Copies of this chain bind each other. A is one copy, B any other.
Amino acid sequence: MSTPKPELITLDNGLRIVTEPMPGAPSAVITLRFTFGAKDDPMDRLGIARIAEDVSFKGTPSMDARAIFDAFDSLGVRRGSSTTVEYTQFQAQIRPTHYEKTLELYHTIISTASFPDSEIDVSKQLTLEELKRLEDNPIQQAMYLTFKAALGDPMGRIPLGEPETLALIGASDVRSYWTEYCDPSRLIVAVAGGLDQEQIISGITETFGGWSSANRGDSDSHIVTVADQAVHHEKASEQEHIGIVFGSIPRTHEMYYVAQVAVAILSGSGSSRLFTEVREKRGLAYSVSAFYRARQSGGMVALYAGTTADRAQETLDVCRAEMARLAEDVTGDELERSKTILKGSLFTSGDLPEGRASSLAEDVFLQGDGRSLDDIATGIDSVTLDQIPAYLETFPPMPQTLVTLGPKPLA
């Protein structure tokens, strides 16, 4: 099965469209990614991007929140949305027959959101609740604290904001923010699933094509740099949560796929090194994983391990030893297995239309064009054994930020 190169189409108003038609598939996914996020929040209004994302769907001049929710539910749309440091994203999983109506609804809401005062108040209240609930989700809390320490401001921001800055956000701030940032030139629309190319393009052109742009272009991107430090957050618990971040390769680098294979050798499967050494051989930690994350200007590798306090130092030592050993003794068998896993996961890691729409939006966001499944498979296949140490020499796991959340600091 050969997959064509995804076509990138840019409308006159700057809106970019990237597609993967799968005629006959019983569902389709629309991903709307805006190239602004928590990094653009004013320092005294941290959290405003997240509030705007939430409340944009709570009112237009002709619909209140109830009417909007009813409209989506009447189409059977499965909706999601998220605000990250670098982008704001809305996603809809639909039956293909509802494609045009779903697009119309998104266009109306996004381009005429009225941000009612009362809805801003509810959203601020719920965001405060969500911040407090981090106390009850120490894994996520540990990762937020790790990224915050490692990347600093603005790239390490927690998109939820802070209680003090949330309190200052008024409805007029949110309306001004949306007017300033929300623009078709900052929107990437990715569609994958049971539709044909012509229908996908005409649907978007007819709804979003008439939305006029102030031609703002992308907001500023910020380079990923990682601080060399160890930070401990005391928490009365039997559990110690360990987060590590170090810099890695950007998406556009020629050794990008080498990094993906290297991280897959370290983590993500039953035969991966961290799982084998930390969990299976030593029973040290129930949960240990490492993952790569790209940003617009850079990349990083993050590691998480959760264990009991008395096993935490050994867990950390084993993780560090495995990161060091990666430059030394990867075998041909390991390389081939990791390639097989990475290629298999293109088809076996969830709903295909959803995965492809997200992936294409991310591609355009990070590198300006979309990758086909074949492009990705070819990239993975091209990695050779001697490239692994070469990659690790160029992008060593240092400087490194270590964050611990639990009863005792580690060294």
A positions within 8 Å CB-CB of B: 1, 26-27, 65-66, 68-70, 72-79, 93-95, 121-122, 125-126, 129-130, 132-133, 135-139, 237-239, 241, 269-271, 276, 279-283, 285-287, 306-308, 333, 336-337, 340-341, 343-345, 347-352, 354
Known A-B contacts A78-B348, A270-B73, A280-B65; A239 and B132 likewise in contact (beta carbons under 8 Å): yes
Known A-B contacts A70-B337, A76-B341, A340-B76; A238 and B135 likewise in contact (beta carbons under 8 Å): yes
Can you list 26 A-B contacts with CB-CB less than 8 angstroms, sorted by A residue number?
A26-B347, A27-B347, A68-B270, A69-B270, A72-B270, A73-B337, A73-B341, A76-B340, A76-B341, A76-B343, A76-B345, A78-B348, A78-B349, A79-B270, A94-B344, A121-B283, A125-B283, A126-B286, A129-B285, A132-B238, A132-B239, A132-B308, A133-B286, A136-B139, A136-B306, A350-B354
The complex places the Cα of A333 from the Cα of B337 at a distance, in Å, of 53
Closest to A28 in B: B348
**A350 to B348, Cβ gap below 8 A?**
no
Set of chain B residues within 8 Å of A125, measured between Cβ atoms = 283
A307 shortest CB reach to chain B, Å: 7
Mostly, the A contact residues are helix
For the complex of A and B, list the 8 residue pairs with the smallest distance between their C-beta atoms, beginning with the closest: A76-B344, A69-B270, A125-B283, A93-B348, A129-B286, A122-B283, A69-B271, A78-B348
The complex places the Cα of A336 from the Cα of B74 at a distance, in Å, of 8
A271 shortest CB reach to chain B, Å: 4
Count of identical protomers in the assembly: 2
**B348 to A130, Cβ gap below 8 A?**
no
**B270 to A74, Cβ gap below 8 A?**
no
15 additional contacts, CB 8 Å, given A75-B344, A93-B348?
A66-B271, A70-B337, A73-B270, A74-B336, A76-B345, A76-B348, A77-B344, A78-B345, A94-B344, A95-B344, A122-B281, A129-B307, A350-B351, A350-B354, A351-B351
Known A-B contacts A132-B239, A239-B135, A271-B73; A348 and B283 likewise in contact (beta carbons under 8 Å): no
Set of chain B residues within 8 Å of A340, measured between Cβ atoms = 73-76
**B237 to A283, Cβ gap below 8 A?**
no
The complex places the Cα of A1 from the Cα of B194 at a distance, in Å, of 13
Known A-B contacts A73-B340, A74-B337, A78-B345; A26 and B352 likewise in contact (beta carbons under 8 Å): yes
Closest to A70 in B: B271
**B269 to A69, Cβ gap below 8 A?**
yes
A60 shortest CB reach to chain B, Å: 15
A335 shortest CB reach to chain B, Å: 12
A20 shortest CB reach to chain B, Å: 12
The complex places the Cα of A372 from the Cα of B410 at a distance, in Å, of 54
**A73 to B269, Cβ gap below 8 A?**
yes
Set of chain B residues within 8 Å of A237, measured between Cβ atoms = 135-136
- Which of A69, A73, A121 has the most B CB atoms < 10 Å from its CB? A73
Closest to A67 in B: B271
